Amino acid sequence: MSEPSAALPPPEALRIGVVSISDRASSGVYEDQGLPALRDWLCKALHNPIEFECRLIPDERELIASTLRDLVDQARCDVVLTTGGTGPAPRDVTPEATLDVADRELPGFGEQMRQISLHFVPTAILSRQTAVIRGRALIINLPGQPKAIAETLGGHPQASGIFAAVPYCVDLIGGPYMETRASVIKAFRPKTAQRPIRPE
């Protein structure tokens, strides 16, 4: 008898932009840990084959905005995750650059990330992170501490990770069907939007 998974079509391919925004990592003062942390977490979390578009850039508003435009409009990314530049320091301008390229803002992502992060650090409230839609792409800011990537995407026992809401958001804006591994993050979709669950 065949496995139930044999009847499932293969998962849809995804294009994901990952952007590390750091003056010091981009100039070689320290080695960038943002891009590897983003890629590792996403590869663990998703069944979908992923084509990554990776960028390591300094904290410059115009450059961040043009990078995001390029990733969505030219590289056709379905999702873009940034890390870094969300705090209150003068050179932290990632949220401003993200809003510069936005069609619409999704403030709930930033609100939930601050809730989650308070379970890890009291300085969580210093992050001005947000999320926006540009065209058919979802762009989300994450804090710059490399450990904050898994913390905010995956969550805490008392605060669900923001990635749980990403697949349904991407459905709603016309992107590919994202399939997560429940052992890493369980995606939430209303019953009417669910397809059969792929075994781990």
Ligand X SMILES: Nc1ncnc2c1ncn2[C@@H]1O[C@H](COP(=O)(O)OP(=O)(O)OP(=O)(O)O)[C@@H](O)[C@H]1O
Positions touching ligand X (CB under 6 A) are: 20, 22-25, 30, 32-34, 59, 84, 87, 89, 144-146
Instruction: Please classify residue 188 by burial: count the beta carbons closer than 10 Å to its beta carbon, then call 0-12 exposed, 13-18 middle and 19+ buried.
Output: middle
Residue with Cβ nearer ligand MTE (22 or 180): 22
Dihedral through CA 165, CA 154, CA 98, CA 127, nearest 10? 120
Q: Which one of ligand MTE, ligand X, none interacts with residue 23, CB within 5 to 8 A by kind?
A: ligand X
Residues 106-135 that bind ligand MTE (CB under 6 A): 117, 120-121, 123-124, 126-127
Q: Which one of ligand MTE, ligand X, none interacts with residue 146, CB within 5 to 8 A by kind?
A: ligand X
Rg (CA), the chain: 17
**Pair of tokens at residue 71:** 């990733």
Query: Which residues, in sequence order, are bridge partners of residue 134?
Result: 137
Q: Assess 95 for contact with ligand MTE (CB under 6 A).
A: no
**Pair of tokens at residue 117:** 């992060």
- CB of residue 123 to ligand X, shortest distance in Å: 10
Q: What angle in degrees, to the nearest 10, is found between the helix axes of 146-154 and 34-45?
A: 30
- CB of residue 145 to ligand MTE, shortest distance in Å: 4
Q: Assess 58 for contact with ligand MTE (CB under 6 A).
A: no
53/47 Cα distance (integer angstroms): 18
Q: Which one of ligand MTE, ligand X, none interacts with residue 175, CB within 5 to 8 A by kind?
A: none
Residues that bind ligand MTE (CB under 6 A): 84-87, 92, 117, 120-121, 123-124, 126-127, 143-145, 147-148, 151-152
